[in-house]
Structure 1
């Protein structure tokens, strides 16, 4: 699931993460449209291949979130949707064909934080607090290329402090075992230190003649931001966490903790 205000580059990031073109026709709403806009839920399915393994991912978008003048209840449709998927799974578990259950539960929520302003907005705090017991939250700083390296470090530190201050529960990486190899320990450490992930998305591809490879970039008059360069963006770390290293952890936490809490509350 992807949650965040319009104009933060959510669609571009999803296209960049999974090398797709799911939102080619997406347009930004006008100011008049935002005034009366309500939150809706949109689902798209994408097939990706990761290290020879084919994966089918369902991407849930939430257009309209945070766009209205009064956003007091803007997160309720999101909460309702997550609960509906929990309830459908619970009903399927009680059915006759329990071995053929199709898992449509939301295992991960990418929550987009604006790079402008100072830290979290009141809407960010309240929405994440409402979501924290229902879904694995992964905070993401959108359009990170509009910040200098010093500003970005300060922004990350501020957001981490506010998450601790407001006692918001985000997805926690498990600690490495003592017998893990050094390469995995370093990769895990890099991912942990990157949270909140500062990302830049782009589907523009140029040829790097120096290295003789194609690279995805965000071009500017002063140069180019390579979206898959860890020195420019945390996109690589985010993608690796989602589809390589921690996909099973996200699913297990959803099933063993979040869904179990919902099931017990129903009983």
Structure 2
């Protein structure tokens, strides 16, 4: 073995050895280090679902993550739904897949859009989003910043009813109230109620109304030029499919000799994971496999930074206002007069001196204005009835 090594070393020249050393340094393993650290730490993601009752929000969440978050859920009667107000319910579950841990938090909004008068029904939801921003801002500004829990809402799936002709006023109000705080992904719920032609028309109508009312929904990032063609094609399909027409199901049915997740109807079977039937697979790929990290980055770099800048601006303006209240009249340095101003002041002094007179017009070296004397005539000389030190002796 040693002979072989000597033989190889004789064949290798110093130039070849230098080339090998220059080709590989070792920082190419940095992604592996980041991967190991991230997997060990785990990931967290907060998803909000909003929309009126009966649109299949819970069923879609079950289908997306293959988990049951509503085991202890109680179905409300019709009377209870009438008197129900908008609530905020959090469900947290730890999911592990191939050694990767995900802490998933689902924020549900039961009671939204169910009342007769739905004006300002999104106020509890906006308050909740602001509270999470405020809590994160306080933790980030505190002394101990090692274990900060990120409860900020990273994405909001908003369910649009398929039975209307586009967006309703409550839909427009909700999205305009939250589009600067959360990444909104609009969905057409229960897409199996519509035929493909109706779905296309409804998507076009929703896109036009979103542009008309100036609503900012989540925008997919542009692909880099060095990406492969498959990824670019997938990105184009995602942009063309928005808003996603989705179907959810918790039951497994048999179709063409295979067991699939779907819904069984008298006229056929609707498969949830069949891209010819709905956009469920595209939504799942976007939300979990391709754009989850981008959703978190946009939340942190855009929405949270806007909130943070607004808070700092308010704090700065308040401090400035308090300092002004303590000293209402600011002490400013007096301006230094220039040569022309000094000349005008000297001319004015000469005019005043000539008007008052030089000798008797001045009393004890003090001008009339300073001595409190009036009139423009010179004062007569002073006389004393008894001699004093200041008067000469009589001759």
Other structure's SS at 2:157 match: strand
Q: CA-to-partner distance for each residue in 1:100-122, whole Å, 9 max, x for gaps?
A: 21100000000000000110000
Contact 2:154 2:299 in 1 (8 A): yes
Q: CA-to-partner distance for each residue in 1:72-98, whole Å, 9 max, x for gaps?
A: 121010001000100000000011221
Q: Which has the higher contact order (CA 8 A, sep 6+)?
A: 1
Instruction: Name the structure with the higher helix share.
Output: 2
Separation in structure 2 between the aligned mates of residue 160 and residue 208 of structure 1, nearest angstrom: 34
Provide the TM-score with structure 1 as the length reference.
Answer: 0.95
Contact 1:7 1:28 in 2 (8 A): no
Of 228, 234, 259, which aligns to 1:214?
259
Mapping for residues 75-90 of structure 1, pairs under 5 Å: 75-90=122-137
Deviation of 1:150 (Å): 0.2
Separation in structure 1 between the aligned mates of residue 145 and residue 308 of structure 2, nearest angstrom: 16
Mapping for residues 76-115 of structure 1, pairs under 5 Å: 76-115=123-162
Separation in structure 1 between the aligned mates of residue 112 and residue 199 of structure 2, nearest angstrom: 25
Other structure's SS at 2:221 match: coil
Deviation of 1:208 (Å): 4.3
Other structure's SS at 1:99 match: coil
Deviation of 1:24 (Å): 4.4
Contact 1:85 1:105 in 2 (8 A): yes
Residue matched to 1:262: 307
User: Does residue 185 of structure 1 match 2:206?
Assistant: no
User: Does residue 149 of structure 1 match 2:196?
Assistant: yes
Separation in structure 1 between the aligned mates of residue 187 and residue 97 of structure 2, nearest angstrom: 22
Contact 2:255 2:269 in 1 (8 A): no
Residue matched to 2:289: 244
Q: Count residues with an aligned counterpart.
A: 265
Mapping for residues 24-63 of structure 1, pairs under 5 Å: 24=71, 26=73, 29-50=76-97, 52-63=99-110
In 2 relative to 1, CA 95–75 (structure 1 residues): closer, same or farther, beyond 3 Å? same
Residue matched to 2:182: 135
In 2 relative to 1, CA 47–236 (structure 1 residues): closer, same or farther, beyond 3 Å? farther
Q: CA-to-partner distance for each residue in 1:15-45, whole Å, 9 max, x for gaps?
A: 1111112224545544432332110000111
Contact 1:6 1:28 in 2 (8 A): no
Q: Which structure: larger Rg?
A: 2
In 2 relative to 1, CA 229–202 (structure 1 residues): closer, same or farther, beyond 3 Å? same
Separation in structure 2 between the aligned mates of residue 209 and residue 147 of structure 1, nearest angstrom: 23
Contact 1:128 1:168 in 2 (8 A): yes
Contact 2:247 2:280 in 1 (8 A): yes
Mapping for residues 226-237 of structure 1, pairs under 5 Å: 226-237=271-282
Residue matched to 2:375: none
Q: CA-to-partner distance for each residue in 1:159-205, whole Å, 9 max, x for gaps?
A: 00000000100000011111110111111111111110100000111
In 2 relative to 1, CA 162–27 (structure 1 residues): closer, same or farther, beyond 3 Å? farther
Of 236, 243, 248, which aligns to 1:196?
243
Separation in structure 2 between the aligned mates of residue 240 and residue 183 of structure 1, nearest angstrom: 14
Deviation of 1:51 (Å): 5.9
Separation in structure 2 between the aligned mates of residue 184 and residue 148 of structure 1, nearest angstrom: 29
Separation in structure 2 between the aligned mates of residue 157 and residue 146 of structure 1, nearest angstrom: 17
In 2 relative to 1, CA 158–78 (structure 1 residues): closer, same or farther, beyond 3 Å? same
Residue matched to 1:69: 116
Separation in structure 2 between the aligned mates of residue 198 and residue 94 of structure 1, nearest angstrom: 42
Instruction: Name the structure with the higher strand share.
Output: 1
Contact 1:50 1:243 in 2 (8 A): no
In 2 relative to 1, CA 236–243 (structure 1 residues): closer, same or farther, beyond 3 Å? same
Of stretches 186-195 and 74-83 in structure 1, the one that deviates more from structure 2 is 186-195
Provide the TM-score with structure 2 as the length reference.
Answer: 0.65
